[in-house]
Every structure is written in structure tokens, then in C-alpha cells.
């Protein structure tokens, strides 16, 4: 049976660290929903045209690509607008994932930050959630994206709470400590063959 790991978590909790490790240490194929989402709004794409029609030329940069900073200012402060944009992009991401993951016969990783929010859990056979404290998440996000506290909080609040994601996961990877500690949990999680029907009452939290 094909094993599809759905790797998710909150923004800046460490998903990329885990995905990169699975790719380099285990040579696993990685499919990234963020790449599909960027492709969805490429220059002259129908989705980008719809976004520009809704928000005006201010949403485009000089080369006619998406002004992501400007769009972020809109959608991370307005649930209605965020839902409108997501309803354009999520179906595109789902369709791309279905097509591209079909070429892998056995084990692959699908990195989806909004796995639950976008209702894509049916595309995977198991769910791994990378978790850390909100304080660490805020600090990492502010440093990584050069955001103010208010901007970082708005982005975190736009997603499902990490505690709720962890409660729905098969594997919870605790990223409150060191990188080595996180990767040891990944080693353990990968060794578990839980491709049978998921039972969330038997959650596994690597230590």
C-alpha cells in the first residue's frame, strides 16, 4: 500500500527542517503545496488575473507578478478576503497534488501547511504535525520573515491552532528543543509502518 505522509504544522514550527531531512537523509520524494500555490498565482495565470481584478493593479509588482506583501496585508487581517483567495488556490493545489503524487509507487511526503484548513487530509495515509510553543513560533516567524509582533500574530491566528492540529495527528514531532532532538523523532516516526486505517486514539508522540 502506498504510504503518503502528510507533513503539516503551524507557520514557522519547523516543517521545512523535517522535509529537508527526509529528502536528504532518506531520499524521499517531497511534494510541496507551497510550490503549487506559488504556481497558481504565476504571471498571467487565471487565478492571478482574478486576484488583480478584485484588488486592483496595486496587488501587482512592476513585472506583473503578485505583490505578496500587499496581498498578505489584505488577507491576514480579513477572514472574508482570506477565504476568497484560498477558495481560488486550494482546488489548484489539490489537483496538482493528485496528479503529481500518482507517479510515486510507495513512500512520499506531501508538505501541506494548511492540510486541515484546506480539507486535504483525504490525500494522505498518515498525518505528521510539527509542533512548538507559541512563543518559539512567534520568535522564529518574526526573525525569519522580518515581521512585527502584530504581523506575526495575525499570520499565526489565520491558521488552525497548533494544539488542534496535534490532536488530529498520527505523529506529533516536538520542536521545542534542538534540531538534533527533532530529527531523532523523525527517524523514529519514519520507522513506524502505520499505513493501515488511522486510529487517532492510538497517537504516537516520539520522544
pLDDT in tens, 83-123: 999 999 999 999 999 999 999 889 999 999 999 999 999 99
**Per-residue confidence band for 201, with pLDDT thresholds at 50, 70 and 90:** very low
- Residue 115 · residue 121 · CB < 8 Å: yes
Span 138-178, pLDDT tens digits: 999 999 999 999 999 999 999 999 999 999 999 999 999 99
pTM for the model: 0.91
DSSP symbol at 120: -
Instruction: Tell me the sheet residues that pair with 3.
Output: 107
Over 90: is that where the pLDDT of 132 sits? yes
Over 70: is that where the pLDDT of 199 sits? no
Q: What is the pLDDT of residue 105?
A: 85
- C-alpha distance from residue 124 to each of 60, 128, 132 (Å): 34, 10, 23
Helix or strand or coil: residue 123? helix
- In terms of DSSP H, where are the helices of the chain? 15-26, 33-40, 46-55, 68-75, 79-101, 134-145, 149-157, 162-167, 179-191
Helix or strand or coil: residue 178? coil
Mean predicted lDDT score pLDDT of the chain: 93
Q: What is the pLDDT of residue 61?
A: 98
Over 60: is that where the pLDDT of 200 sits? no
- Residue 15 · residue 7 · CB < 8 Å: yes
Tell me whether strands 107-111 and 126-131 are parallel, antiparallel or unpaired: unpaired
Amino acid at each position: 500500500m502506498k504510504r503518503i505522509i502528510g507533513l503539516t504544522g503551524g507557520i514557522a514550527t519547523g516543517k521545512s527542517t523535517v522535509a529537508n531531512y527526509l529528502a536528504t537523509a532518506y531520499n524521499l520524494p517531497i511534494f510541496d503545496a507551497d510550490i503549487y500555490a506559488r504556481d497558481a498565482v504565476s504571471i498571467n495565470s487565471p487565478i492571478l488575473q482574478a486576484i488583480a481584478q478584485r484588488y486592483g493593479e496595486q496587488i501587482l509588482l512592476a513585472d506583473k507578478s503578485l505583490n505578496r506583501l500587499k496581498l498578505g496585508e489584505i488577507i491576514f487581517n480579513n477572514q472574508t478576503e482570506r477565504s476568497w483567495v484560498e477558495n481560488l488556490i486550494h482546488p489548484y493545489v489539490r489537483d496538482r497534488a493528485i496528479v503529481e503524487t500518482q507517479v510515486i509507487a510507495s513512500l512520499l511526503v506531501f508538505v501541506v501547511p494548511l492540510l486541515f484548513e484546506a480539507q486535504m487530509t483525504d490525500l494522505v495515509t498518515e498525518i505528521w504535525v510539527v509542533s512548538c510553543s507559541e512563543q518559539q513560533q512567534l520568535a522564529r516567524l518574526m526573525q525569519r520573515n522580518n515581521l512585527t509582533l502584530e504581523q506575526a500574530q495575525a499570520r499565526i491566528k489565520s491558521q488552525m491552532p497548533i494544539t488542534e492540529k496535534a490532536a488530529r495527528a498520527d505523529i506529533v514531532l516536538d520542536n521545542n528543543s534542538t534540531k538534533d532532538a527533532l530529527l531523532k523523532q523523525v527517524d523514529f516516526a519514519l520507522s513506524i509502518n502505520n499505513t493501515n486505517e488511522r486510529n487517532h486514539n492510538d497517537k504516537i508522540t516520539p520522544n
